[in-house]
Structure 1
Amino acid sequence: MIEGGWMAWTFPVALFFWVIASLLVLFTILAIRFPETPRLGILRIETTRGDRLFISLLGSAFICLGWLFFAGPPIWWGLALALVYAAAVFRWV
């Protein structure tokens, strides 16, 4: 573990930020290369790919926090549940 002031930079923490940054870059490239029109989903609001990414990331954070609160670590099953949630958001929202 690398001690760096206010935060302990471990491999999982670095991987988390790398994945989020990569998703943002990927979705920016997709938006430029394949522009889309907003669609109306189950929430009855118009969403784009970026909106659905934000909704899935926010919901996944709450799922993982809930998993830690109710089941404790390890969080692998909570992550699996968050991935299923994200797939559902991209399919139906």
Structure 2
Amino acid sequence: MFDWMVWTTPVAVFFTCIVLMLIGMTIWELKSPTTLRRGWLPIATTRGDRLFIGLLAAAYVNLVFVGIAGKLQEWMSLEAEPSVWISFVLSMLLLALIMRKG
């Protein structure tokens, strides 16, 4: 069923985190319904909106990192490409920031 994708540990951790966030947000929404609020995003958002925007931003951070990893290796004279765990941590920090302040 999942043979079409290369399931490395970082990929599995990333998708597991997304599933856990969705489960957690569902439980949170059932216990405490959300309201619109304004943060530094240019629109009023709910928790679900901020999660969606944060997940999109996290995906873009990961894609950009994968795209420039070869150049980073070249620019920084590294022996190997930088670990994708760096982009995972950066994307989760961005997601947390958007969820908290967005």
Which TM-score applies when normalising by structure 2?
Answer: 0.73
More strand by share: 1
In the alignment, is the contact (CA less than 8 A) between 2:14 and 2:88 conserved in 1? Answer: no
Q: Which residue of 1 aligns with 2:39?
A: 41
Aligned to 1:90: 99
Taking a change above 3 Å as real, the CA distance of residues 76 and 31 of structure 1, as seen in their structure-2 partners, is: same
Secondary structure of the 1:36 match is: coil
Secondary structure in 2 aligned to 1:71?
helix
Q: Structure 1, residues 3-48: CA drift from partner, whole Å, max 9, x if none?
A: 9543344554444333222211110110010112110121231111
* TM-score, normalised by the number of residues in structure 1: 0.78
Any runs of at least 4 consecutive aligned residues in structure 1 with deviations exceeding 6 A, and if so which? none
After superposition, the Cα gap between the structure-2 partners of 1:4 and 1:29, relative to the gap in structure 1 and judged at 3 Å, is closer
Stretches of structure 2 that go unaligned for 5 or more consecutive residues are 71-80
Task: Map 1:13-92 to 2 at 5 A.
Answer: 13-72=11-70, 73=81, 74-92=83-101
Q: CA-atom RMSD, angstroms?
A: 2.2
Q: Higher relative contact order at CA 8 Å, sep ≥6: structure 1 or structure 2?
A: 2
Structure 1, unmatched stretches of 5+, are: none
